Structure 1
Amino acid sequence: MIKLHGFALSNYYNKVKFVLLEHGIEFEEVLTKLPLAEAQLAQSATGKVPFIETEQGFLCESEVIVEYLAARFPDKRIFSADPWQAAKERELIAVIETHLELAVRELYPEAFFGGTVSEEVKKSVEKRVTRHIASLKRLATFAPYARGEQFGIVDMSAFVNLPLIGMATQAIYGRDMLAEAGVDWKAYVKLLGARPAAQRVGADRKAYIEATR
């Protein structure tokens, strides 16, 4: 059985968990907090969560894990069967995770954890996020799902990442940059939240936050 290491506050842990739940892949959760102990770096070379444990060993990085799951369980159709459509899914995930969430992550210390972020960093992030929200809008339709009428892997990434982008930019700049650009992520996330797997992810995240206060 696959063991998923991490904790329910992590958006990328929750992305992998969403995929596992949505596709009915059996797994076990192993609570693993940061920073990792020295011995655990042999399990997650980047020192991050999530990472998974399989009969063959350990694997880290959420998108690599998803790719592994897609290859190991081809019958689950985690990505579209059509190669072009699957590539377009990966393209949009890259915009959400690499170009938007990773940029906004630089704001998290001040937006969510009581720290401070320099004005230089804030200006840099604002410029990059503005550019790549435009990229998001070119690729995503939200009609009603990210890529049209069918729910898919992109939505699992968007579900855990778009709220962070909206809330962090609201906290730092006094405006939700996604909403300002016409991306109604709250309605979209509410739609996704009707799915049982999303409800489980959300409930477990809430329970974790309450337990660690």
Structure 2
Amino acid sequence: MRTREGTLEGGRILTVADESAVITRVRSGEREAYAELVRAYTGIALRVAVACGAGADAEDVVQSAFIKAYLSLGGFKDGAPFRPWLLRIVANETRNTVRSAVRLRAVAGREAALSRGEPLIPESADPAVAAVEEERSAELRAALDELSDDHREVVACRYLLEMSEAETAQVLGWPPGTVKSRLSRALKLMGGLLATAPGWESGPEKGGRGGGDGDG
């Protein structure tokens, strides 16, 4: 949940000023203060790791990312937001892990995590409607897994994690123009994949959004 003051994670709103205060305490020798940042951003860090393909290794990836972030605090720019900086470390750590992990483990873990994150259908809903929604959710996950890593990551950040284009650019380490072009291309690819699924009348962004097809 977002507010004008900051981001609500783990039950507490952290502003950039809050983050800076915690980092100052850590730098001054109060190492246990770092736990406040860990508690605040573990949830979103795990979701980024899963979205980027960490699968069953998500918790290990996040733990490693927090350690690397802690060790790099000396070079962290004063007054800068900590969250996107941390999530970029998580994304990079995930890519390194995925390259050396068994691909099937990553896919299975990601699908399970995305399934847990889906909105629940009320028990009173029509069973036929529920069955259709479940089928379409499975088709969406299958289409997502057919994308390249870059295309899957940009879709996950923008639509599964609901990040802005600016945040997505920071987390993935891409120029804003690259985010736009890869997102446009990914949505067109997903639309094409879903168009071939039985009973799927209109996939997300069928026909694609405006914009170039290049990967910037």
Answer 1 or 2: which has greater helix percent: 2
TM-score (norm 2): 0.27
Answer 1 or 2: which has greater strand percent: 1
In our comparison, the structure showing a higher alpha carbon Rg is: 2
